[in-house]
Amino acid sequence: MAAIWSERARFEAWWRVELAILEAQAARGEIPAADLEEIRTRAKYSPEEIARVEEVVQHDVVAFLTVISEHVGPASRHIHRGLTSSDVLDTALALQLCQAVALLQADLGALRRALRGRALEFRDTPCIARTHGVHAEVTTFGMRWLVWYEEIGRHEERLAAARERLAVGKCSGAVGVFAHTDLALEEAMCARLGLTPAKVTTQVIQRDRHAELLLVLALIGASVEKVATEIRHLQRTEVAEAFEPFGKGQKGSSAMPHKRNPILCERLCGMARLLRGYAVVGLENVALWHERDISHSSAERVILPDATLALDYMLHLLTRILSGLEVDTTRMQQNLEITEGLIASEALLLALTDAGWTRERAYEHVQKAAWCVRQGQGDFKKAALKDAEIVDSLGEERVAALLDVRPPLKRIHRIYERAGLTDEIS
């Protein structure tokens, strides 16, 4: 990813655009074949040369063209004919962004494969689900992974759509009206570069396209943060159900040798904030003065490389964390039992309403039994069996069966099937 955004790669992308236009012009007979060959053969540039010229001219594209012209000689008169700087800059940026997004797409694919494997691995592993941080119903640990697996799949679709809208080029000139070029030339140039002509432009390709990408990157970052936050919670001493990898010789604290902190997940949560900040800047770049200004340019030189680099790193790191996540299923079972059966309250409530009770009456009796448990008067099964009205309606065996807490595996398996995951663990 860093190589895509290097200074040398930026100039190479500029030259690809310039050369594509020259080749399209030569194919139409507007440039002698000998001159095109001379340009191809003699064109040279280096970041160092361009930097020296830019110190004087204070314009990066002019400096780039000056250096190339000095190497090419008289045939350089054909280079950049009828174009404006943004024709080159924005089209070249599209090439770089498409490369960057392709890497991110590969990262998402690797992450989703890791999620799929562990979702299948823990498909039937019981654990407590929490709402508001409080024990709710029983689920399986695999269901958490399945939720993440589906979410990353949606991000793959979003990123593909953003890439398609970014993969556009232009050579429509200073204000986008093709004053010194034409639409056919633009179409030929884009075809050579694997891009689509932007249907309508001003002097620049409109920045809603770039803002969309940054928003998608921020959204992916939010999902990374979501997963990392869950792992941070699961690693808390009071929970202790899952732990991010901890290397041999690794230290958790400078002061407390016993510490094993979720530092990698905390790092991901912090970096997700960067991506949201970059998305805001992308939105600010949409509104430019009239046919263009360059207020977007200085910001994009920071946010586009940084956002793609940050997310590339985040996705690699999260995949490593999830692949090496240490899971304590014994602790999960222990945590399931600490509420002494209270998590079966909804099952008892529904059984009573099925038996003809009003919801209000059923809720009152079930809640009363739950409060007995909270006050240390035994487990939920005992408390429910002490309620004569509940026992008269359902019978002791029925109450006992209802309060035998297990995940609804058959229905969970159906959810997996609907999500496209087979029974085979890969």
For residues 351 and 40, is the Cβ–Cβ distance under 8 A?
A: no
Mind spelling out the 3-state secondary structure of the chain? CCCCCCHHHHHHHHHHHHHHHHHHHHHCCCCCHHHHHHHHHHCCCCHHHHHHHHHHHCCHHHHHHHHHHHHHCHHHHHCCCCCCHHHHHHHHHHHHHHHHHHHHHHHHHHHHHHHHHHHHHCCCCEEEEEECCEEEEEEEHHHHHHHHHHHHHHHHHHHHHHHHHHCEECCCCCCCCCCCCCHHHHHHHHHHHCCEECCCCCCCCCCHHHHHHHHHHHHHHHHHHHHHHHHHHHCCCCCCCEECCCCCCCCCCCCCCCCCCCHHHHHHHHHHHHHHHHHHHHHHCCCCCCCCCCHHHHHHHHHHHHHHHHHHHHHHHHHHHHHCCEECHHHHHHHHHCCCCHHHHHHHHHHHHHCCCCHHHHHHHHHHHHHHHHCCCCCHHHHHHCCHHHHHHHCHHHHHHHCCCCCCHHHHHHHHHHCCCCCCCC
Q: How many residues does the chain have?
A: 426
Annotated active-site residue 365? The verdict is no
- Give the closest residue to 98 by CA, choosing from 37, 159, 30: 159
Report the interhelical angle of 60-72 vs 33-42 (nearest 10°): 110
User: Pick the catalytic residue: 6, 253, 254, 298?
Assistant: 253
Distance CA 350, CA 354 (A): 6
46 is catalytic: no
Of 78, 132, 323, 345, the catalytic one is 132
In sequence order, what are the beta bridge partners of 135? 130
* Distance of alpha carbon 291 from alpha carbon 303, whole angstroms: 23
Cite the active site residues. Answer: 132, 253
